[in-house]
Amino acid sequence: MTWLRGVLDDIAGEAPRVDLAEEALRMHERRRRTSAALIAAATVVVVVVGATATVRLLPVETERPAAPNKPEKVSELPAKGVGPLSHAYRTFCHPVSGKTPDDCRDGRWRVVTQDGQTYHLSAAAGNGTVAITTDGRKIAYYLTKSRTFQVRDLASGAETVAPVRIPPAWLGSVPRLLLSDDGRFLAFTKKPALDDPAMLIDLREQMTRPLPNGWVPVGLSADGSAITLMDYSPKSRLRTMTRLWTTATAGNSSTVDIRGSYLLGPPAPGRTMIAALENRLTMTDSCVPAPLVQFDVTTGKVLRKVALRGVPMNTHRVFLRGWLSPTEITAVAMPLPACTKPGPDVPNDDIGPSEDPPYQTITSYAVDVQTGKARKLPATYSAQGTFDLVLPGPPGSI
């Protein structure tokens, strides 16, 4: 029996579908935690019954099998003079099938520039996450040695360290980061909603403000005074916090519950509207096309609902990411083996305890939120799941 099926047997069968994924992640982490290190859940594809929900913990070091050809060496990220980033991704080196990236380092991050250069980001902790500014010119990550976060300007090499110590245990299972466009503010939260603090960090003034745990930071005003957070399990919710720096504690806060289940993206420019994909997964079908929905951020009211066209939702899991313009949002699509006929080289959920998911090609699209029409973008990414792929700009549902 696979680990997922074993976990699901331990969970109440009537639990909401997204809760199953969250609980599976938590229980699998506890069962496979080593005494040396904990790494964030690497890949979760929210699928029910025949689909896969895969979590990878950092394994004990093992010798890699000899490769037939000498792999290319990947350089360390230079101290300065690096161009804007296309994305960052985390590597695990024992995929159940397919090719392993050259110079693979288990559970470690690497970055790729817009002109195609790949570098190891050895300074970043594997059990943390990273965040990239919208323009790709700055990156934030957790420094194990300093036990806190750091923001680096890739061109100048300037580094700014957060003013607070954050023990590795505070990172939780799924840490989430949002870096402001100018690199001044860094929002840090995590799942599950532990008692350890989440926070908004002003790296210029070296100050912090508390944030609620269990939420994903997806929108931040230019001056850092207001933040938008979302939650997608056990239900979809939006939370707006304002006046963050005008009082001794976090300022005003309002929460809106959204009826139904949605995979939320970040707010549109102006932070008054948020786009989402309706989550139509059922206990018997995990490959259901769904409409694109726009919500008012403060009221949760549906503003528009359109059919999504041009994105292969019947064979891929689709997530929303950064905005390309006031009317176009990025969508990334990851293949779901459960939605196609499994073959000898396409494992379903029979991944062994010492094996990782295969690397898959994740495609990107620009979606017009007014019409629902999508156009394929040139950018493609190779990763083992959405937990292991970070694009410039705010995060979204995973």
Closest C-alpha to 375, from 316, 319, 318, 330: 330
Q: Give all domains of the chain, ordered by start, each with its CATH number.
A: 3-58+71-390 (2.120.10.30)
**Mean pLDDT of residues grouped by 10 in the chain (398 residues)?**
40 39 41 35 34 40 51 91 97 92 95 97 91 97 94 98 92 90 96 84 95 92 93 86 79 87 90 88 72 93 94 91 95 85 46 75 96 96 91 86
Report the distance separating Cα 379 and Cα 365, nearest Å.
9
Report the distance separating Cα 242 and Cα 244, nearest Å.
5
End-to-end CA distance of the chain: 26
Peptide bond before residue 197 is cis, with ω within 30 degrees of 0: no
Per-residue model confidence (pLDDT) at position 25: 45
Report the distance separating Cα 136 and Cα 153, nearest Å.
10
Per-residue model confidence (pLDDT) at position 11: 38
Q: Please give the angle made by the CA atoms of 92, 265 and 237, to the nearest 5 degrees.
A: 110
- Asked if 194 and 213 touch (Cβ cutoff 8 Å), the reply is yes
Peptide bond before residue 217 is cis, with ω within 30 degrees of 0: no
* Eight-class DSSP state of 356: B
Residue 131's alpha-carbon distances to 161, 187, 317, in angstroms, are: 14, 10, 22
Amino acid identity, residue 277?
L
Q: What is the CA radius of gyration of the chain?
A: 20
Per-residue model confidence (pLDDT) at position 252: 85
How big is the chain, counted in residues?
Answer: 398
Per-residue model confidence (pLDDT) at position 10: 41
Per-residue model confidence (pLDDT) at position 248: 62
Per-residue model confidence (pLDDT) at position 250: 58
* Eight-class DSSP state of 43: -
- Asked if 229 and 235 touch (Cβ cutoff 8 Å), the reply is no
Cβ atoms within 10 A of the Cβ of 55, count?
26
The SS3 call for residue 388 is helix
Strands (E), 28-128: 75-76, 85-91, 108-113, 118-120
Residue 358's alpha-carbon distances to 70, 237, 246, in angstroms, are: 21, 32, 48
Per-residue model confidence (pLDDT) at position 224: 93
Per-residue model confidence (pLDDT) at position 347: 43
Report the distance separating Cα 229 and Cα 9, nearest Å.
32
